[in-house]
Amino acid sequence: MAGENVTTVDVSELPLARLTQIKQELDTQVEIFGSSLQQLKIAQKKYGDSKECVERMQNMKEGNSLLVPLTDSVSFKLLLVSFQKVICW
């Protein structure tokens, strides 16, 4: 809002149609913020899952396997052949 002119209006002076429009705009913004928050929470969970997998891999010994999630319903299995080579299946 920097550089914008701000006008103060007494809400009681606005017509009902304008108040209804403002309410609809605010409802839309609340929905958008709610959706964005949900998407951020999903991304945060995926990041945490990925971080956990990386931490597990750092503690693995050669020959160990690990199940790595791609999505909530799809995973793949890793076999640590060496610290430079991983086999997926």
- Give 70-89 pLDDT, tens digit per residue: 777 888 887 777 766 655 55
What is residue 82's predicted lDDT score, i.e. its pLDDT? 72
23-39 pLDDT, tens per residue? Answer: 999 999 999 999 999 99
What is residue 27's predicted lDDT score, i.e. its pLDDT? 97
CA gyration radius, the chain: 25
The CA-atom distances, in angstroms, between 10 and each of 17, 36, 54 are: 15, 32, 56
